[in-house]
Structure 1
């Protein structure tokens, strides 16, 4: 047995003890002869490796009603709301991961071949980590953002490969950086036949799964070095509150164009979309961006949290 296999076995044993037998992490550490910190990491890694699937059969009635009201108010095809009262961002993301995986599983379970467009970000990565393994080799996953990071490495936010592995399906990636170095470089990337074939496949996807990003100092695009502090400040000064795949929009959901658009290589997104685009986002930090995406009609489905849903409905009643 390899070292990795031994690690997986130990993680599985810890998961059985914690989730099924109700044993505490301290007791797991004692039983397995480990420190509490190692036992805690094993339980966490079991979730990340997709060994643990959470299913709660009794829905929260209040969240069901909120989802119904959001869906009706914003003309969505799909809406799910997870409980979030008094939870921090990390806890909300874990709740979104579980519910998001359940939503994705409904699409993946289809026997008819499907093409899934996949965005990027921490929330989508957590959702795909939570996905069960479902053998659907007939399905395809297509990236909607460039797969090359600033330092020429593969970006860690390129998550479709992991989803394709869980389905044993095909994976198509965009052979380009998220932002080209110059407009001339962008022209070179987008003229490539592979780029054109992959982006066309993504545009014709049966459903796209995306995140919604906030635009403020320290946001993922800024923290990862894709946009500078000065560019964030300039975008905010023009009313920008959110982005999807690098497409910026203001608080009314209107597209805001800027210098980065001459460099952006992502698959095209548009407001008032007619495409099936399901977004996964929650927390107070992302509220303005989520609201703007709904007002602008950028998405057809949303998985979000209770506090966000309540605020959306309160503010929409004043429109």
Structure 2
């Protein structure tokens, strides 16, 4: 039996790609120089550098703020009364804006976690936050505590694939407090039972004292994350939309004015409602699909900070 690893999983190949990427982006070497250094052809050196980026072995950040992005951030802060705003450079049409937003957001989280004074930082969940955490560097931040705002179990008992609290803790070596209960209870009695469990009470109490809250935002169209990820049915999604749902944060749907809906699955959530107190709530979101939800959340002052991309920022300022 052939016990060799497939080429794409060969550690030596990954090492070579990482070395080529390092020489190109950090060492400033040309592809011809890299080829000579590694003893490979120029074509292979070119492929190795490309692979270093495509496989996430090398991550590129721009430390110099672009003036146009800074102007957009200031305009958003003024328009919506935000305490913090970061705007990442835009990408061509059709590109995933998360590619440019995630590094900017990761740098902001790293800045927060390098604060020497102990903080409690509460996190939502979802694809965006997962991508941001993957971009974060490892930070020695054991003085902080990270806590989840939302449960991590789907109705069928499966764990949420996009929960981020464990990954955050791994990056920080910090104590972490997941909310180990279903996102949505089957009925009010079960909801009350879950929330009274000692470990859940402790997690919810800690989240309510968060110094900083970091969330994504969900749209309420047919591709709503709550529905796509199996937490609510299509009928439950339609019920929330009929009640005026424009978006959701930590599973809790709100209307076009940023007011939480007192109906449907909102009544069965085990999650903590955002904002949890008067401390900052930083929302990381971008893309056309997120814009209605963002406008509503900004209108209702559900968030006090925003990290987004250039195109989304311009759209939010256009109305």
Q: Give TM-score, length-normalised by structure 1.
A: 0.85
Secondary structure at the counterpart of residue 112 of structure 1: coil
Q: 2:127 aligns with which of 122, 129, 144?
A: 122
Residues 1:23 and 1:238: Cα distance change in structure 2 (over 3 Å): farther
Distance 2:51 2:185 in 1: 38
State whether structure 2 residue 239 is matched by structure 1 residue 229. Answer: no
Instruction: Report if aligned partners of 2:251, 2:271 keep a CA contact under 8 Å in 1.
Output: yes
- Which of 79, 86, 92 is the equivalent residue of 2:92? 86
Q: 1-side partners of 2:21 and 2:166: how far apart?
A: 25
Q: 1:21-47: per-residue Cα shift (whole Å, max 9, x none)? A: 5659xx99x76999x999866644435
Q: Distance in 2 between matches of 1:232 and 1:153?
A: 20
Q: Which residue is 1:295 aligned to?
A: 299
Q: Distance in 1 between matches of 2:123 and 2:231?
A: 19
Q: 8 Å contact 2:275–2:303 — kept in the other structure?
A: no
Structure 1 residues 106 and 268, CA gap change in structure 2 (3 angstroms) = same
Where does 1:218-297 land on structure 2 (aligned, <5 Å)? 218-270=223-275, 274-297=278-301
Give the number of equivalent residue pairs.
Answer: 304
- TM-score, normalised via structure 2 length: 0.85
Q: Which has the larger radius of gyration?
A: 2
Q: How does 1:46-61 map to 2 (within 5 A)?
A: 46-47=56-57, 52-61=58-67
Within 5 Å, give how 1:140-289 maps onto structure 2. 140-270=145-275, 274-289=278-293
Secondary structure of residue in 2 paired with 1:213: coil
For 2:153 and 2:10, locate their aligned partners in 1 and report how far apart those are by CA, in whole Å. 27
Looking at structure 2, the residues matched to 210 and 37 of structure 1 have their Cα atoms a distance apart, in angstroms, of 37
| Inter-CA distance 205–6: structure 2 relative to 1 (3 Å threshold) | farther
- Structure 1 residue 11: Cα displacement: 5.8
**Cα distance in 2 between the residues matched to 1:17 and 1:124:** 30
Q: Using the TM superposition, give the Cα deviation of residue 181 of structure 1 relative to its aligned residue in structure 2, in angstroms.
A: 2.4
